[in-house]
Structures are given as C-alpha cells and as structure tokens.
Amino acid sequence: MGLSTHVGPHLKENAKNLASQWKEKLRGDTENSLESLGCLLFIAVYELLGTLHEDEIVMLLRRVSQHKQSLELCQTHGFADYIPDFIRKLIEKKPLMEAVRSICAFKLFDKLPPVPLLKEYVDDVMMCSEVICGSQMIPDEKDKALNGKIADLRAAIQCIKNYDLESEYPSKTVELQIIQLEMLKEKWRSLASTQS
C-alpha cells in the first residue's frame, strides 16, 4: 500500500475473484485469525473494501480482534470506519469482554464507554454463578463451572489493569466477587464431603 503501485483493471478483477474465494474459504474456518488478517490486508492492498458487504468486514474484524497488532493494522488500513459497527455488533451478540477490549484497543472511549459494558459483563458472570449455585449439578460439575466463572472475573480484572480503567472501575470490586465465589466453592466442598 505504501508503494501506491497502479493496479490495472485485469489484475484488480483477479484480486477481486481471489478475495471472494478466500472469504468463502474462511467461512468454515473460525479459528484461523491470522489468515483472516491476511485476507483483510489483501482486500486493503487491492482497494477492494467497497466490494464487501458490511457483515463480511465485521466478521473478518471479529476474527482478528483478539490480537492487538491486528487491530492496529486494521485501523490504519481503511477499516476504521467499520470498527464502531463491529463493536456494536459484538455488544448485541454479548461477547462483552471482546467488545470492551476492542473499544479500548481502538481508543473509542468517547463513542462507546467500556466501563458500563465491563460492569454488565461482571454482573452477568455473577448472575450465572447464582444459577449454578441453585442448580442440581453434582458438586464436581458445580466446582468446574464456578472455576470457569472465576476465570471470567480474572479476565475482567486483567482488562481493567491492561487498559487503565482502575479509576472508573476498581479491580478490588471484582476481586471481592472472586472471594465470594471461592467461599461458595468451599461451602459446597464441605457439604459434599458430609453427604458422602
């Protein structure tokens, strides 16, 4: 892209066909974020952004969103206009932690404040933990499910620290919730041992 070489109509048509085939191949492969990044960069280099549907761009952005370097590349290669829509779709579909990370990585704090989403994420984790507590799972399953929820809360703490959100949402609040869940786990273990 930095060389600004001229791409003739024949080459552009070939690039468009290749991009179409590449996107089709990626539909079935949800794991390969590096290939998705390659596809996005190819589209940017050949200036094919206008040939894509917004949903296709959002799908590709979502796949590369877990890598900070990928996000930076996307921001500087013509995808910046699509990023707020991409994040709104994440919020609608509820991977809130992914949305918060993307907001922070793209520095969209004024358009999409991350802290209310982070609080909603933590509240959802705690509500899910309450459901687990009231369920009829065997103690080992409850323990495993709660460990997952504790890991989710630790991810929230890491996000708070990584993106300097401590002043708006102190990580100690989330740490207290982890302590509550740890105490619940201990309570179940003692109950399970007395019942067996």
- What are the extents of the domains in the chain? 1-112, 113-195
Average pLDDT, integer, range 150-162: 94
DSSP code, position 47? T
Each residue's pLDDT tens digit, 82-128: 788 888 888 888 889 888 988 887 888 888 999 999 999 999 999 99
pLDDT interval class at 148 (50, 70, 90): very high
CA distances from 103 to 46, 47, 55, 62 (A): 27, 25, 19, 12
pTM value > 0.85: no
Q: Is the pLDDT score of 11 beyond 80?
A: yes
The sign of the torsion formed by the CA atoms of 38, 41, 43, 45 equals negative
Which band of pLDDT confidence, cut at 50, 70 and 90, is reported for residue 6? low
